[in-house]
Amino acid sequence: MPIKAILTDIEGTTSAVSFVFDVLFPYAREHLPAFIRAQADKPAVAAQLEAVRQESGETDADVDRVVQILLDWIAIDRKATSLKALQGMVWAEGYRAGELKGHVYPDAVQALRQWHAEGYRLYVYSSGSVQAQKLIFGCAEVGDLTPLFSGYFDTGSGHKRETASYARIAESIGLPAAQVLFLSDVVEELDAARAAGMQTCGLARNGGELPGHKTVASFSAIDPSAD
Ligand SMILES: CSCCC(=O)C(=O)COP(=O)(O)O
Ligand SMILES: [Mg+2]
């Protein structure tokens, strides 16, 4: 079946792991405490703080304790939907202030533009919130890349190592999974996407292989018409 849509991961795939770990996470660590203390009563923030209490099992935690739980989760890169939502809100302020610019590899920019021009539908699936995804591509170093994308998926569709998440995404896109090519740097994500019927391509930007999957070091080596 020909590929009609390309679904891509962000961290380690379109964008450098170091941008996430050395720029985005430290920015969140620095600004999250003041952001939460200032905005804790706003409904969108209060809802996420409550979700942190539920997920941590500390249902009576005060705001200071919730902040500490969130900082601990950043330190272990926990992919909690509530943390990701709050990080997205904090990063939005950084992008708005011009303190952050989204990193997207030049080869990814070029391929995404070419595939869009060729008529492929492009989608993002990341553990980062949809808001954070739109920011990294919307405020990229090269300008606004969001017109290239037809949609965004985060952990609201399920976790990235679970097969059901990819089945849900294919259904939402409205294509048989076999017509979707999924790109990622994490073998467990590629395995889950394949188990749902998607085609897969691994990104190993420093070389090497993602076992069981076609693996490339750059988007320039991907030809969706050959899959
Ligand atoms: C959307 S940019 C923020 C990246 C992030 O928070 C993250 O957890 C990256 O996860 P990914 O699924 O893109 O590897
Ligand atoms: Mg990744």
**pLDDT by residue (tens digit) across 39-63?**
999 999 999 999 999 999 999 999 9
- Whole-number Å distance, alpha carbon 51 to ligand 2 midpoint, is 24
Q: What's residue 227's pLDDT?
A: 66
Q: What's residue 1's pLDDT?
A: 83
Residues 65 and 33: beta-carbon distance below 8 Å:
no
Q: What's residue 209's pLDDT?
A: 95
Measure the CA–CA gap between 33 and 66, rounded to whole angstroms.
9
Neighbours of ion ligand 2 (CB under 5 A): 9, 11-12, 185
Q: What's residue 53's pLDDT?
A: 98
- Pick the ligand that lies closest to the CA of residue 10: 1
- Structure tokens belonging to residue 89: 């809100």
Q: What's residue 226's pLDDT?
A: 86
Q: Does ligand 1 come within 6 angstroms of the Cβ of 154?
A: no
Report whether pLDDT(121) > 80.
Answer: yes
Q: Which atom of ligand 1 is nearest to 136's Cα? A: 2
Q: Does ligand 1 come within 6 angstroms of the Cβ of 128?
A: yes
Convert 147-163 to b/e letters by CB count within 10 Å (16 or more is b). Answer: ebbeebbbbebbebebb
SS3 state at 122: strand
Report whether pLDDT(114) > 80.
Answer: yes
Q: What's residue 52's pLDDT?
A: 98
Q: Which atom of ligand 1 is nearest to 126's Cα? A: 12
**Mean pLDDT for the stretch of residues 7-26:** 97
**pLDDT by residue (tens digit) across 181-210?**
999 999 999 999 999 999 999 999 999 999
Domains present along the chain, CATH in parentheses: 5-16+103-226 (3.40.50.1000), 19-96 (1.10.720.60)
- Whole-number Å distance, alpha carbon 126 to ligand 1 midpoint, is 5
Residues 150 and 7: beta-carbon distance below 8 Å:
no
Q: Does ligand 1 come within 6 angstroms of the Cβ of 10?
A: yes
